[in-house]
Amino acid sequence: MKIPIEIVKTVNKVVPYRIKRIIRRRFSTLDYELELRHEQNPYRNVPELKLHESRYPFTLGIIRDLSQYHANYIAACRELRVAYKTLDIFKSDWQKEFEICNCDIFLVWPEVTLTVWREMFDERLKILTEELNKEIFPSYKEIWFYENKRRVREWLVAHDIPHPRTWIFYKLEEAMEFLKTVNFPIVRKTALGAGSHGVKILYNRKEAEKDVKMAIKKGIVPERMDPRDKQWGYVILQEYIPHEYEWRIARIGDSFIFRKKIKRGAFASGSGVLVYEKPPIELLNFAKWVTDIGNFKSMAVDIFETKDGYLVNELQSLFGARPLPVTKETGRFIFKDGEWIFEHGDFYKNAAANLRVEYVIQQLQQKRKK
């Protein structure tokens, strides 16, 4: 029997956070959480913006995700007065809807609440772009990295980009031999898991052996993920980099926006302590170099600043962006004529979806002129 959502909402207000964590670890609350997110989407019953209402002669397709992150794209389109349609990629006959919708491009925010849903997005977006010849933003290559630390590590190694030394093991015996020689502490990660969820510091060999066995043989459920969705069969280990903060430089089109994540507890990532602070020019150059290598136009680069240089900790093509008070440090950098130009303003609106929509419109306009 399903408990009415109104009862769940009432109970959710009074149950201590510690008890909620215990419940989430043992029972799936996914249906309720998704229903709550749907209710919190302010655009769920709002009519789509039609072409005759738009400032531009384009219609953007917005692919719905069950976690409602696509609401950021809707908000951006409405604020910028761009026509849009929302589409359901979860449907069995999804291809038909996508082929007849007359959208100029599709905006994507993949669903990663469950591994199987993430795999579905990978599969169907590949068909959408390579077989149906539709254009998406971010690109399929950029989306491929989203919430997958294994893929990021392999790409960084392939391009010899500085990053914390990282090892991925699929064989338990190889991992155990490695633990005999590595210096502690080290960091264990899961491929999926936002912020610091799925990340744990291992301080000694005994603790590491137990954790690695669990990861490869039985599986690990990152914090706040469905207990049925274990990450198993592999383990990601990374050298621990002492740090007090982590930079996030995000490139969207030719704009570089930035935040500084301050360490609270063991990690800066996921700490929730964020500030605007203009990054050094050398850091901007480093982020531009990384994104130029991948030809990325929607990519956040999380960077550790060490005495030996910069290290890429993570790449994310999409990211949440909790609103912060605008200060004199708030803005973006644009690289023009060999120089970095700072423009003051809030460019994180709707998790930077406004910047993405503006860039997409710019690209469509240039394509139409050709």
Q: What would the pLDDT profile of 272-304 be if each residue is shown by its tens digit?
A: 678 889 999 999 999 999 999 999 999 999 999
Alpha helices in the chain (DSSP H): 5-14, 17-26, 30-40, 71-80, 94-100, 115-126, 140-145, 149-158, 172-179, 205-213, 281-294, 349-369
User: Does 259 map to a domain?
Assistant: yes
Are 197 and 89 in the same domain? Answer: no
CATH (domain of 228): 3.30.1490.20
Q: What average pLDDT does range 82-110 have in this prediction?
A: 98
Residue 146 within any structural domain of the chain? no
The reply to whether 278 and 315 lie within a common domain is yes
Report the number of distinct structural domains present in the chain.
4
User: For 22-48, how does the pLDDT look when each residue is reduced to its tens digit (9 = 90+)?
Assistant: 777 788 888 888 998 999 999 999 999
Position 124 scores a pLDDT of 99
Give the pLDDT of residue 26: 80
Report the predicted TM-score, pTM, of the whole model to 2 decimal places. 0.92
249 and 187, same structural domain? no
Task: Domain of residue 125: give its range.
Answer: 51-137
Spatial contact of 27 and 225, defined as CB atoms under 8 Å apart: no
The whole-chain average pLDDT of the chain stands at 92
List pLDDT tens digits, range 61-88: 999 999 999 999 999 999 999 999 999 9
* Residues 249 and 235 both lie in one domain: no
